[in-house]
Amino acid sequence: MNNFSDKLLYSILVDDDFINYALNDSAPLAERWKNYFENHPEQIPIAKTAIRIINGEDKTHQLSGFEAEQMKLEIIRKSGASNLN
């Protein structure tokens, strides 16, 4: 990850609330993220990209092997799982 946008994209992709919002779009989460993006409109394009990635619709953003491993470790840490196969 070379720039601020990539780091922001990664941080959104490992945010549990954002992942749930992207997958479920529940009213409380939708309201929370709507308010967040009203205060940070410059992040909307990055969030839209994250939603496409989460939903498997974006094939242009590829993580390096290191980044994929870091994301996997973060998911394992957050889930409390000791092994993810």
The reported pTM is: 0.63
Tens of pLDDT, residues 33-60 = 999 999 999 999 999 988 888 777 766 6
Query: Could you tell me if 29 and 21 are in contact, meaning their C-beta atoms sit under 8 angstroms apart?
Result: yes
Give the model's pLDDT for residue 64. Answer: 67
What is the pLDDT of the chain when averaged over all its residues?
A: 78
Q: Is the pLDDT assigned to residue 3 strictly greater than 70?
A: yes
Q: Sign (positive/negative) of CA torsion 65, 67, 68, 73?
A: positive
Question: Domain boundaries in the chain?
Answer: 4-79
Confidence of residue 11 (pLDDT cuts 50, 70, 90): confident
